[in-house]
Amino acid sequence: MALFNCPNCGKEISDRGAICPYCRNWIDTEAYRQISSQKKQELMEEGEREYRQTAEYKRQKQKEEKLAKLPPCPLCGSKENVKRIGTLNRAVSVCAWGLASSKIGKAYECTSCKHRW
């Protein structure tokens, strides 16, 4: 529900009524539609601005930027499930398995298909 000013008395009224409750003036339906659509557009833009300031929007933006930097998995093509294999993780694997470690020379791992490249 949007509010706009009555053209006759200037008080705020709802966009759902055809008559001003204060001055009993009939609202011109064409002008009413224009005012109503303009007010709805303003409210939508204001809501969009408020949403852009929220922490959820910022987290989503950071996630998108992080995904843009990661390469897709060569086997399944997924970007959401790709993670970087850390240096410590590789070092522990090499210490445990020696030259038989599957993480030597690998930088990324897909968590869905378990492929390393």
Distance CA 59, CA 50 (A): 15
Q: What is the pTM of this model?
A: 0.46
| Residue 95 pLDDT exceeds 90 | yes
Distance CA 97, CA 117 (A): 18
Q: What are 44-83's pLDDT values in tens digits?
A: 888 888 888 888 888 888 989 988 888 999 999 988 899 9
